Amino acid sequence: MEDETAITEVTSATVTSAIVATRQIGAFRGVFAPTLLAILGVIAYLRIGWVVGHAGLGGALLMLGLALMITVCTGLSLSSIASNTRVGDGGSFGVISRSLGFEVSSAIGVPLFLTRPLAAAMYIFGFREGLMWLASDLSPMAIDLVVFAVLFAVAYRGARLAYHLQTLVLLVIVASVVSIFVAGPTEDSPFEIMWWGGAFGASQPDSVSFWTVFAVFFPATTGFLAGAPTRVNLKDPRRTVPVGTMGAIALSALVYVGIAVWSARTGTPEALQHNYTHAIDVAFSPLLVVLGLLCASASSALAGLISGPRILHALGNNRIVPYSDTLADDVDGEPRNAMVLTGMLTLACLLFRDINVVAPLVTLLFLVTYAAINFALLVERQLSLVTFRPTVRVPTAVPVVGLVASVATLLVLSPLFGLASLGFMGGLAVTIRRVGQPSSSDETRSGMWVAAAEWAASRLQPDDYDNPRAWRPNLLVPVLDAEQLRDSYRLLMDLARPEGSIRLMGIGGDRRVEDLSRRLPRLQRSMRERKVRATWSIVDLDDYEAGLHVGALSMQGAFLRPNTMFLELGRGHGDRRRASIAMQIALERQLGVALYVPHPDVGLGESSTVRVWIRPGARPWDAAYALHRTNVHLALLLALRLTRSWGGKVELITFDPSGREDERAEGFLAALCDYTRFPGSAKHTVLVGDEMQAVAESSAADLSIHSFPDAGMDLDWALAVKTRTPGSCLFVYDSGSESATA
């Protein structure tokens, strides 16, 4: 029974999603509905008319276009990141922290959290304005406090109730928007639409600047972050987050444009400037619009009171904020301490008393978050990690435009706040882009590189070595004679470039040490000139086994320690004994193994096609089981590396011993590609017969990658496969720290 349970616990978030899909929610309820509820809120009901009154219809549409450009770019960036990673505790903060790391994302997590109590206060103010339209003699402060108390109690004890009511709330909001649109122009409506208002310098009383109006309007577009849920509760999040998020943004944009046009046709500029409830007064059913405003305000405020504590809880879990232990505590899965602090801050924000005061603060904090999300995607793309394989791919221009627009708008609205918030992010961007490859003559950049490396080494913990999301091929290459690397040099380069590394470890006595001391530094320089990080060392021992033991042991605690031992069986296979020794030592030191057996004549051929052989597994055609129990991850990761380096094609191939299960075998390969986010262009091939027969009947490829059988590294088996293969072979064995699903 324990084995049955363990089989389902595949580490990939994607696999987990597929296994427990029956208990998860889809794009509509999990992303689209909460996103649309958050977007169609207070600003839509109470401030669109005010925006049109000050800026004119053309100015309002210009503001909407700018806000929509930032929102769409950021939404696409978030969707791309979310399609590559698991959206865990903390929602958007979880996405950013997985991309930039918790140290960097701490600068983003705090302002992201602060948007929640500020936004909750803003929505409570909107609820108050709607309620006072019904009963103007009520006390505004009393309304704010009572509404806050009720919402906080629901968030503290009954958040599930709010979730189940979201569909009903959405229906009420839709009905209220319809009530607005069906109310046409009246006899008091202006005959001519004002396109450009006082915000553009027109001579009008009580005019407000363009950017002041924009700062009040912008929170209308921030609700899409609700599409990054604070729990992993989505069915197929790689699809539901992008579809739900972008669908809600598109629909809400149409609604905002419609309300802006409707406002320009149903009210004079003076009336729109001074009457926040114009949409209620002119609507076909004012009571229905008020009900929509109350529902939208309450649901959005409740969302802030629910999501804010979870962001704070995530900050506490990662020890980013003071009193982290207290904030990380939870009761029955709920972050009670974080809820209390969020409630206290929301009470403090209620002292601002006005939407027009709170909204600009929300705008500034969200612009910082938007800039960080776009920056996170740029960093992921620039580092070119093999683990970055989003199923939603966007052009580089998307995060660039989103980042530039967010930063520029932030600096225009508040230069001091913008510079203080973005200074650290800008310094990090310069470091990543410019410090990566210092030249020997550039002492400043070399010093920065050394300082960055030392800082990184000091922060690295033992558990970080085995983080599957940070995996890259750090190759340990035992060397007796530098000449032996002639056949494998090109493959080593292609595997390590751009962010992997090569550790050349010479082994030999006095005479051999002298030769290695001359030739290994030259090899290292040659590799570095080709932008591959390479280092060398020598173990002065005649005995190969003892030397390799000492060398491998000495590197276990090193910064960027090797995770894969690269070996080669040369012409004639005369070094089988040493290969067996090296593989056994790699197994003892928990290193992966990559054993290269080149074709004696063609080598890597045209370096364009990679073939990965996948066994059906102990549970035939069960992809989840294969990923959990089969030695397959290193083979898939190295195939991805070579496909990127060569710009070529990759083929997954398996074999059907019975010849009667082609469809199941094809489905097995398709599921494997889905779980591991393998390129959609990957070819799937099913051959009939046992493994050796299938290998013998296969066509030629530049490199065939085979995983050793799970039972162990059998050189006789590997050589038998090689004799039946028309090209070069790479035989691999997992260390256990690799994950093709990370």
HEC secondary structure over 132-159: HHHCCCCCHHHHHHHHHHHHHHHHHHCH
Task: State the pLDDT at residue 559.
Answer: 62
- Average the pLDDT over 248-269 and give the result: 89
Q: Which residue has the higher pLDDT, 446 or 646?
A: 646
pLDDT band at residue 415 under the 50/70/90 scheme: confident
pLDDT band at residue 146 under the 50/70/90 scheme: very high
**C-alpha to C-alpha distance for 647 and 668, rounded to whole angstroms:** 25
Rounded alpha-carbon distances, angstroms, from residue 302 to 24, 81, 219, 316, 342: 22, 26, 16, 22, 12
Q: Which residue has the higher pLDDT, 405 or 271?
A: 405
Q: What are the structure tokens assigned to 445, written together? A: 């950049």
**Where along the chain do its domains lie?**
26-418, 470-585, 599-742
Helix (H) or strand (E) holding 501: strand 501-507
DSSP for residue 390: -
**C-alpha to C-alpha distance for 177 and 162, rounded to whole angstroms:** 21
Q: What are the structure tokens assigned to 407, written together? A: 């930063």
Of 174-188, 256-270, 320-334, give the lowest mean pLDDT range: 320-334
Matching residue, tokens 């804010």: 308
* C-alpha torsion 396→400→403→406, nearest 10: -120
What percentage of the chain has pLDDT greater than the value 70? 79
pLDDT above 70 (res 145)? yes
**C-alpha to C-alpha distance for 243 and 247, rounded to whole angstroms:** 6
Domains 26-418 and 470-585 share a fold: no
Class of domain 599-742: alpha beta
pLDDT band at residue 720 under the 50/70/90 scheme: very high
What is this structure's pTM? 0.68
Task: State the pLDDT at residue 619.
Answer: 82
Task: State the pLDDT at residue 317.
Answer: 78
pLDDT band at residue 434 under the 50/70/90 scheme: very low
* Mean per-residue pLDDT over the chain, rounded: 80
pLDDT tens for 679-717 read 888 899 999 888 899 999 888 899 999 999 877 888 999
Rounded alpha-carbon distances, angstroms, from residue 139 to 65, 296, 361, 647: 38, 21, 25, 68
Phi and psi torsions of 465, nearest 5° = -60, -35
Of 153-162, 183-192, 563-572, 635-644, give the lowest mean pLDDT range: 183-192
**C-alpha to C-alpha distance for 159 and 165, rounded to whole angstroms:** 10
Q: What is the CATH number of domain 470-585?
A: 3.40.50.620
Task: State the pLDDT at residue 458.
Answer: 56
**C-alpha to C-alpha distance for 156 and 502, rounded to whole angstroms:** 53
Q: Please name the fold of domain 26-418.
A: Amino acid/polyamine transporter I (1.20.1740)
Task: State the pLDDT at residue 6.
Answer: 35
Collapsed DSSP state (helix, strand, coil) of residue 684: strand
**C-alpha to C-alpha distance for 185 and 191, rounded to whole angstroms:** 10
pLDDT band at residue 561 under the 50/70/90 scheme: confident
Task: State the pLDDT at residue 400.
Answer: 94
Task: State the pLDDT at residue 20.
Answer: 36
pLDDT above 70 (res 233)? no
Task: State the pLDDT at residue 346.
Answer: 94
**C-alpha to C-alpha distance for 359 and 173, rounded to whole angstroms:** 21
Phi and psi torsions of 501, nearest 5° = -150, 160
Q: Which residue has the higher pLDDT, 368 or 26?
A: 368
**C-alpha to C-alpha distance for 564 and 509, rounded to whole angstroms:** 25
**C-alpha to C-alpha distance for 205 and 270, rounded to whole angstroms:** 9
Q: Which residue has the higher pLDDT, 410 or 26?
A: 410
Q: Which residue has the higher pLDDT, 570 or 589?
A: 589
Rounded alpha-carbon distances, angstroms, from residue 535 to 112, 364, 437, 458, 526: 41, 46, 15, 20, 11
Phi and psi torsions of 575, nearest 5° = -105, 35
Helix (H) or strand (E) holding 178: helix 166-181
**C-alpha to C-alpha distance for 158 and 167, rounded to whole angstroms:** 17
| Residue 704 CA to its chain's centroid (Å) | 31
| Residue 703 CA to its chain's centroid (Å) | 32
The amino acid at residue 202 is: A
- Average the pLDDT over 378-383 and give the result: 75
Q: Which residue has the higher pLDDT, 34 or 686?
A: 686
**C-alpha to C-alpha distance for 616 and 662, rounded to whole angstroms:** 12
- Average the pLDDT over 156-171 and give the result: 73
Task: State the pLDDT at residue 574.
Answer: 57
What percentage of the chain has pLDDT greater than the value 90? 26
pLDDT tens for 58-99 read 999 999 999 999 989 988 888 787 777 655 555 566 666 665
**C-alpha to C-alpha distance for 174 and 263, rounded to whole angstroms:** 18
Sign of CA dihedral 17, 19, 20, 22: positive
- Average the pLDDT over 107-119 and give the result: 80
Task: State the pLDDT at residue 445.
Answer: 37
Residue 635: CB partners within 8 Å, gap ≥ 6?
612, 613, 705, 706, 707, 732
Of 256-260, 377-381, 733-737, give the lowest mean pLDDT range: 377-381
pLDDT band at residue 533 under the 50/70/90 scheme: confident
| Residue 224 CA to its chain's centroid (Å) | 16
| Residue 590 CA to its chain's centroid (Å) | 29
Task: State the pLDDT at residue 466.
Answer: 63
Task: State the pLDDT at residue 345.
Answer: 93
pLDDT band at residue 532 under the 50/70/90 scheme: confident
Q: Are 315 and 102 in contact (CB under 8 A)?
A: no
pLDDT above 70 (res 102)? no
- Average the pLDDT over 541-558 and give the result: 83
Task: State the pLDDT at residue 443.
Answer: 37
Of 17-21, 119-123, 506-510, 579-583, give the lowest mean pLDDT range: 17-21
**How many Cα atoms are found within 13 Å in the side-chain-facing hemisphere of 373?**
34
Q: What are the structure tokens assigned to 651, written together? A: 């083929």
Task: State the pLDDT at residue 159.
Answer: 58
